[in-house]
A and B are shown apart, each in its own frame.
Chain A
């Protein structure tokens, strides 16, 4: 099973989401912003799913996804955005960058666990 990279500037979200996924047997790595996320993804080839916030300092989540595809040339890793944003234009930008799914916070682990497991299988 692949690893999940959680990218969020809030330690509360990283703890909450990461804690829940670990408790359910998933292997989790965390990053504090888009820049850190890119570095962690580069350093951990076993990551198969990225769950990322949009609004973050240094590099936002959508820019990070665009760079995953363009700079890292990684078109296989699955990306799901976990954010308070829900505007269609932002979702469109995500879709264009190859984002697989969108979750509007707050995080409800039980309702997405099966999909996360499938995406990391």
Chain B
């Protein structure tokens, strides 16, 4: 696996023990996790921010009283029920004496001397879905190429692709487009902030709206076109021309709650995410675009294939093919 396609996942580490933190960090490094240590006392504010997370690692001795830790776990569960919470137990542990209702808040417990249960949680909850390297790398390539074509004077960069379980919406604006083949059924979603794109449009003459006339409709249209071009490139590269999908008509509702910046595709599956940053360093303008792949209706990585002819004999984008 190349570095570019090595998937990672962010986990929130709510643990004050400095002597254990190095061990937890080492575990995270070895298992594709990025441990975000909570330093602020206001954990709930962090949880409601735009941090994409895969799990919470909470320590039994985070507070002096285990009851307070249980209250915190309940609050986390109410705020972000989709996130698995793993408890680091102390020795001696008083966790077993807690009512079953509270113990159920945790998907697993571990001790610093035996992290095996934590490893199991990672396999079961975070990296339970296999995303082939060729898919991860290919998505990144076609998306960067599309963004570079749409925003020709901006510098495009991308972070390491990652897995999330949470359902927090980033920004105010997102697009959704369906993907369907014999190996997948689901959606691609792009999320971004309207204001950041408007800032760029209003100062970029090359985007034809440098006169300051760009509005939210202009932004919608640009995001729609970027979505459309990435979708087309995805089909050209990963879905064979004769692949008509699995002909299933099953659907599940997508629930969007703007007040809570929340979206659910009705599936518990971890989702594949990419973050792209478009920089106009001249004017100090930056656009962040989050890209999610949610294969909530069907996922069969064993049947995944990259269309070799499309890669070897690359489609000449933008070139006219005369009949």
Which chain A residues border B264 with CB–CB below 8 Å?
none
Which chain B residues border A103 with CB–CB below 8 Å?
318-321
With A11-B217, A12-B224, A84-B229 known as contacts, the answer to whether A104 contacts B318 (CB < 8 A) is: yes
Does A42 count as interface, using CB distance less than 8 angstroms?
no
B318 pairs with A108, CB closer than 8 A: yes
The B-contacting residues of A in range 1-33, CB under 8 angstroms, are 10-13, 15-16, 19
B208 pairs with A19, CB closer than 8 A: yes
B321 pairs with A102, CB closer than 8 A: yes
With A10-B225, A89-B241, A106-B150 known as contacts, the answer to whether A101 contacts B232 (CB < 8 A) is: no
A12-B224, A107-B318 given; name 5 further pairs at CB < 8 Å: A13-B225, A84-B228, A84-B231, A84-B232, A111-B320
Does A86 count as interface, using CB distance less than 8 angstroms?
yes
Which single member of B149, B316, B320 contacts A101 (CB below 8 Å)? B320
With A16-B208, A84-B233, A95-B323 known as contacts, the answer to whether A55 contacts B228 (CB < 8 A) is: yes
User: For chain A, what secondary structure do more than half of its interface residues adopt (helix, strand, loop), or is it mixed?
Assistant: mixed
Which chain B residues border A88 with CB–CB below 8 Å?
241
Does A105 count as interface, using CB distance less than 8 angstroms?
yes
Mask: chain A, 89-104; 1 = CB below 8 Å from B; 0 = not: 1010011000111111
| A residues at B contact (CB < 8 Å) | 10-13, 15-16, 19, 55, 80, 83-89, 91, 94-95, 99-108, 111-112, 115
| Cα separation A34 to B277 with both chains bound (whole Å) | 35
B323 pairs with A99, CB closer than 8 A: yes
B319 pairs with A108, CB closer than 8 A: yes
Q: Nearest residue in A to B310 (C-beta to C-beta)?
A: A86
A104 pairs with B221, CB closer than 8 A: no
| B residues at A contact (CB < 8 Å) | 146, 149-150, 208-209, 217-218, 221-222, 224-225, 228-229, 231-233, 235-236, 241, 315-323
**How many interface contacts (CB-CB < 8 Å) are there between A and B?**
84
B323 pairs with A104, CB closer than 8 A: no
Which chain B residues border A55 with CB–CB below 8 Å?
228
B218 pairs with A11, CB closer than 8 A: yes
A104 pairs with B232, CB closer than 8 A: yes
B232 pairs with A115, CB closer than 8 A: no
Which chain A residues border B235 with CB–CB below 8 Å?
84-85
With A10-B225, A12-B224, A89-B241 known as contacts, the answer to whether A106 contacts B322 (CB < 8 A) is: no
Which single member of A16, A86, A106 contacts B236 (CB below 8 Å)? A86
| Cα separation A87 to B217 with both chains bound (whole Å) | 31
Q: Nearest residue in B to A94 (C-beta to C-beta)?
A: B323
Which chain A residues border B233 with CB–CB below 8 Å?
84
- Expressed in whole angstroms, the minimum distance between the Cβ of A42 and any Cβ of chain B is 25
| Cα separation A111 to B319 with both chains bound (whole Å) | 7
Interface centre among B235, B236, B317, B318 (most CB of A within 10 A): B318
Which single member of B149, B208, B218 contacts A106 (CB below 8 Å)? B149
Which chain A residues border B228 with CB–CB below 8 Å?
10, 55, 84, 105
List the 5 closest A-B pairs by CB distance, nearest first: A84-B232, A108-B318, A106-B149, A87-B241, A12-B225
